[in-house]
Structure 1
Amino acid sequence: MTTRRSLLKSTIALTATAALPLSLSTPAFARETSSREFLKEFFSHSENTVGTIKLRYKEELARIYQQRGYAPLWIQKGKMTFTSKAVLKKLSSAQLLGLDASKYYSRLLSQLSASKNPQHRFQFEIIMTDALYTYFDDVAHGNLRQNDASSGWNLKEGNIDVRAITTEFFTGNHSFRQTIDALEPDHPRYKGLLKALHSHYVMAAAGGWTEFPNGPALEYDESDSRIPVLKQRLQQSGDLAETHVDGDEKFNLAVFEGLTNFQNRHGLQPDGVLGPKTVAELNVPLHKRISQIHMNLDRWRWLTRSDKQSNIIVNVPGYDLDVTLHGELAMTMKVVVGKPGNRTPLFSDEMEHLVVNPSWYVPSSITRELLPRELARPGYLARNRFEALSLATEESVSLASLDMHDKHPNNFLSNYRLRQLPGKSNALGDIKFMFPNDYSIYLHDTNAKNLFDKTERAYSHGCVRLEKPFALAKLLLQHDGRSAAQIDTLLGQKSTTTLVLDRHVPVHLTYQTAWVDGNGKTHFRPDIYGHDKKAGESLDKGKSFYADAENYALDATNDIVVSSG
């Protein structure tokens, strides 16, 4: 009789071209041991390997099969079920959910399913369930986890009960589509990215996009032999209608508009000039864009799902802020974020209060930048409404009373801290938004409004400067139940005033270098802090991630339901 131990010892190679074992010691396995008996016996012991596969979720599998009375999920009367074939197809095309299909042993499972050997069928049964549970867990939490992605990620993670949700599938109560819907983020930008990923795979299946040759910069109304190539490239990425693709070498209005569309989608100055930066973006390989979408799908999976009805999301490399209230996008605006040497940290917290006419308590790192200006130009700090606060007493000390020795950065910071009083020169502007955190980061107004005219806006020391701060304040106060008259009075205060919000609003400072806008256009942005590079090193996605786009449907067609046992 075949035993559990002989099954475990069966050797199965894991490489992409692995061969199945040539022979088995007990070919009468299926006739002498019932499926239920075998599964019950297997899960009663501590071994967690099948062949050479180490199971990732042995305990979860034991619970699942116990709930099913140890009835197999994928085998009936020694044969593969239709359901198992459908699930295997989903695992094989996991790339189209932004996942790594190699994690789910799809090639090995295909080999096992094709084998007529009974032992291989039972190996298939157990490995398939472990692979599917891994797949479900990755759909919920990401192929790459937040802690593995890069340092500086502290987002509030998704509160998804994978065990409870998947139990409904494995017991036959929920379909595959229902299970995926329950595990995935329910956010328009996540869903838009999935569609963008699908369209990029279709593009890859059609041969990818054309590489644009280098050469001198080109502008509107010029002629060049590269213009027909540019038209083809812009058409391939959806920036130019196919009707404009021809052999004409004139840089005409249609080409100009198509190029500015492309520049807008890639965070470039939309000047319609075909310069080196634009050519560099045109020539980013398609497989790298696919990889970029994969990474950003994971970043949505890291976010908590509990606050999807109301939240504030700052996208650092996108230099923008979205406010969602009651499930609807209520506001978007430009922001200025930390420069690469003073990165805006990535984390989650809750907006608790606003401060009108705030003072600015200057961080020590910025104080070290300001004091040399004071030493070079005495009175600089006082002219800009700065004062010194004694660390011992918290009382204000006249800067004029301090000598040059006292104003040396090391000496000053040992005894004082800087505070800037409210006013036109105050770096925080007229209002700041507080979500108390360990990083001393907040949202605030700014007196440097000209920065919002720039395409790239990484200029701050880490805090987030707002394009429309008072519009945000009114929106939050309305959400908090204040009347229009109350809001006007509160925001019109001349003295420093703290406005406490009864309804806290979750705030997420995120890092999305790929997203889809409300018009269905896919946007890409430079990796200003190097997080994409780090993620790429941890999770190498390349041309091997291309998949047959026909293997995946974006709707619920051919949904899957397992038997209840």
Structure 2
Amino acid sequence: MNFSARLYKKTAHYLTAGYLLAIAIQAFGSDDNASQAIRQSFAASPSACAATLAAAGTAGSSLLHEFYAQEAFLPLWQEPSRRAALLHELEQLADDGLNPNEYRLDSLRTPLPKGIQQRACADLLISHSYLLALQHLSRGRVAQESLEPFWRAPGSDSPTPRHSVLSLAVQGLDNLPAAFATARPTLFQYQQLRRAYAERRRLPLSEWPAIPGGRLLRPDMRDARVPLLIERLAAEGYIDERPAVASDRYDAALVAAMQRFQTRHGLQADGLIGPDSLTALNTSAAARLAQLRVNLERWRWLAGDIEAQTLLVNIAGGQLGYYRDHQLLWQGRAQVGRPERQTPQLKSLVSRLTLNPTWTVPPTIMREDKLPEIRRDLGYLASHQLRVLDRDGNPLDPTKVDWQHPGGIILRQDAGPKNPLGQLVIRFANPFSVYLHDTPSQHLFSKSPRAFSSGCVRIEGIVELLDTLLPADDCAEIARLLASGETREFPLRERLPIVLAYWTAEVDADGELILRNDLYARDQNVLAALQRHTY
């Protein structure tokens, strides 16, 4: 290229840039005028952008003001390429189970108005959508506390707190994809569940027949519902080929398909079809898709509580996992609270172990379970190895207690093989008097769902868990103390974060999507909240 050509090209470039700048200034006046219009929108009473600020709410309006204050109140969305980038990121929120239309995509798809004040209001509206989206993506679309209360112990905050919405928004203006990627939880479970939801929401929803209730269906039985079962399992690919001749026999091939279905739905894979399996079979494809959406929201709530090293209990799934560096090192089955005595959601710090524990009967169990039995038969105390104590721990004569009004007493069971707490209790501060513990009821771990307790969490193989959890010399000392049979407290060298949480959909270690029945019937409330509009 000769000198004249290069000069021509350079001159054309500056002329084009100057022309575009002139258009921008003409459209929005000068930077000073634009900034003044945005400042006045916050300061004036009533504001020229009252509708936009009202939509943001008091807290949102304050965040919006702080956001613009950090940017010298300059307009932020006048550049078409930035608006297009934001539009693209907002549209992708559909894969997160969020509704993109909630973020007023029309304000990004239509040209900005011409008047200075109108353009200022449009700029504010787009910023509100931007801030709202980052908040929903990083913290959750709805308030967890109003739906599924979650208690956090003082001092249990993560040492690496999440980015604030404001810092995400300011830093992300020049790289919107990075802002949204940073806001989105990086947890394996969230990322995998998002992928599963994105794939499923793009597919036509399958349909299958409802299977009526009836007697427990066992292998090799004949039942008029078997053809419906075949059709149901074939609809999701659990049966490769339907039998050429219709049969009402629940044969071996169908049992094997049903066991695969049960495994994928967190049920006991025994091939028996009872109420829990029928519930899973009769849940529609649309409801399962909504279930993924609900659990994406739950993982957004949890994102700030799951630390690199965490004991994590899935209440709905009856499982405990121990994570180190976010890698699953140990997993075991758990028994959790019955629906009428639900295990609470919480985050705390494990501080100590109780070895060969005694069991002091909690007030609720005393009132609702033990007292009715004792009133019927005083011999219940001896047969269950329960001692009666006063508040100071002094023994009382059971025959001299007024069991109709037994105020001021304690029921306690000594350590031993029949003690409900087994050999070991893992303790952490909480107001619910719950803990993890061993149990003599080992046979119940083979069931699913495993909702048998009064709120505490029973762990299968809890003593073996310690081999992964603690240093070898601590484990040797614990083994010695357990063998002594004496009740001892064993403080941990370092406090360990523990989270008890509820979710009904997850991707397991093998990459399989597990869709569980809703043990505590909570999914529908979360879904209804997600579907409510906020504008």
TM-score by length of 1: 0.77
In structure 2, the residue matched to 1:380 is 380
1:354 aligns with 2:353: yes
Alpha-carbon offset, residue 521 of structure 1: 1.5
In structure 2, the residue matched to 1:312 is 311
- Per-residue Cα deviation, 1:463-503 (whole angstroms, up to 9, x for no partner): 1111111112333322xx63553343244332011110011
In structure 2, the residue matched to 1:37 is 33
More divergent stretch after superposition (119-128 vs 368-377): 119-128
Q: Which amino acid letter does the alignment assign opposite residue 200 of structure 1? A: R
Against the structure 1 CA distance between its residues 348 and 225, is the aligned structure 2 distance closer, same or farther, given a 3 Å change threshold?
closer
More divergent stretch after superposition (466-475 vs 334-343): 466-475
In structure 2, the residue matched to 1:335 is 334
Distance 1:179 1:468 in 2: 43
Instruction: Return the match for 1:209 from 206, 209, 234.
Output: 206
1:415 aligns with 2:408: yes
Alpha-carbon offset, residue 220 of structure 1: 6.5
Alpha-carbon offset, residue 195 of structure 1: 1.1
Distance 1:101 1:351 in 2: 40
Alpha-carbon offset, residue 64 of structure 1: 3.2
Against the structure 1 CA distance between its residues 420 and 277, is the aligned structure 2 distance closer, same or farther, given a 3 Å change threshold?
closer
Secondary structure of 1:341's aligned partner:
coil
Alpha-carbon offset, residue 115 of structure 1: 7.2
Q: Which amino acid letter does the alignment assign opposite residue 434 of structure 2? A: I
In structure 2, the residue matched to 1:199 is 199
Q: Which amino acid letter does the alignment assign opposite residue 146 of structure 2? A: D
Higher relative contact order (CA 8 A, sep 6+): 1
More divergent stretch after superposition (88-97 vs 36-45): 36-45
Q: Which amino acid letter does the alignment assign opposite residue 486 of structure 2? A: S
Against the structure 1 CA distance between its residues 122 and 245, is the aligned structure 2 distance closer, same or farther, given a 3 Å change threshold?
farther
Against the structure 1 CA distance between its residues 536 and 493, is the aligned structure 2 distance closer, same or farther, given a 3 Å change threshold?
same
Distance 2:48 2:259 in 1: 55
Distance 2:482 2:140 in 1: 42
Contact 1:49/1:55 (<8 A) preserved: no
- Per-residue Cα deviation, 1:277-307 (whole angstroms, up to 9, x for no partner): 5454334233322222222122222226365
Against the structure 1 CA distance between its residues 200 and 120, is the aligned structure 2 distance closer, same or farther, given a 3 Å change threshold?
farther
In structure 1, the residue matched to 2:130 is 132
Distance 2:90 2:261 in 1: 34
1:512 aligns with 2:503: yes
In structure 1, the residue matched to 2:20 is none
Alpha-carbon offset, residue 271 of structure 1: 3.4
Against the structure 1 CA distance between its residues 257 and 110, is the aligned structure 2 distance closer, same or farther, given a 3 Å change threshold?
farther
1:139-218 correspondence to structure 2 within 5 Å: 139-150=137-148, 152-155=149-152, 159-160=161-162, 161-170=164-173, 172=174, 175-203=175-203, 207-214=204-211
Against the structure 1 CA distance between its residues 541 and 275, is the aligned structure 2 distance closer, same or farther, given a 3 Å change threshold?
farther
Q: Which amino acid letter does the alignment assign opposite residue 385 of structure 2? A: R
Contact 1:29/1:118 (<8 A) preserved: no
Distance 1:230 1:530 in 2: 24
Contact 1:139/1:184 (<8 A) preserved: yes
Count matched residues.
489
Instruction: Return the match for 2:419 from 418, 421, 426.
Output: 426
Instruction: Return the match for 2:522 from 510, 518, 531.
Output: 531
Distance 2:28 2:185 in 1: 46
1:72 aligns with 2:72: no
Against the structure 1 CA distance between its residues 123 and 247, is the aligned structure 2 distance closer, same or farther, given a 3 Å change threshold?
farther
Contact 1:231/1:245 (<8 A) preserved: no
Distance 2:242 2:358 in 1: 58
Distance 1:183 1:331 in 2: 29
Distance 2:229 2:285 in 1: 21
In structure 1, the residue matched to 2:89 is 90
Distance 2:365 2:358 in 1: 15
Against the structure 1 CA distance between its residues 196 and 36, is the aligned structure 2 distance closer, same or farther, given a 3 Å change threshold?
farther
> What is the RMSD computed on CA atoms of the aligned residues?
3.2
Contact 2:334/2:460 (<8 A) preserved: yes
Contact 2:444/2:450 (<8 A) preserved: yes
Contact 1:234/1:259 (<8 A) preserved: no
Secondary structure of 1:397's aligned partner:
coil
Distance 1:229 1:457 in 2: 29
- Per-residue Cα deviation, 1:175-206 (whole angstroms, up to 9, x for no partner): 33432343233322122111111122122xxx
Distance 1:394 1:445 in 2: 24
Structure 2 residue runs of 5 or longer lacking an equivalent are: 1-23
- Per-residue Cα deviation, 1:205-231 (whole angstroms, up to 9, x for no partner): xx2112225468696698975577345
Against the structure 1 CA distance between its residues 265 and 32, is the aligned structure 2 distance closer, same or farther, given a 3 Å change threshold?
closer
Against the structure 1 CA distance between its residues 447 and 337, is the aligned structure 2 distance closer, same or farther, given a 3 Å change threshold?
same
Alpha-carbon offset, residue 358 of structure 1: 0.6
Distance 1:514 1:220 in 2: 31
Secondary structure of 2:207's aligned partner:
coil
Distance 1:104 1:124 in 2: 13
Contact 1:352/1:500 (<8 A) preserved: yes
Structure 1 residue runs of 5 or longer lacking an equivalent are: 1-27, 543-565
Contact 1:113/1:120 (<8 A) preserved: no
Against the structure 1 CA distance between its residues 253 and 153, is the aligned structure 2 distance closer, same or farther, given a 3 Å change threshold?
same
More helix per residue? 2
Against the structure 1 CA distance between its residues 252 and 118, is the aligned structure 2 distance closer, same or farther, given a 3 Å change threshold?
farther
Against the structure 1 CA distance between its residues 515 and 83, is the aligned structure 2 distance closer, same or farther, given a 3 Å change threshold?
same
Against the structure 1 CA distance between its residues 109 and 452, is the aligned structure 2 distance closer, same or farther, given a 3 Å change threshold?
same
Against the structure 1 CA distance between its residues 282 and 120, is the aligned structure 2 distance closer, same or farther, given a 3 Å change threshold?
farther
Distance 1:423 1:370 in 2: 19
Secondary structure of 1:492's aligned partner:
helix
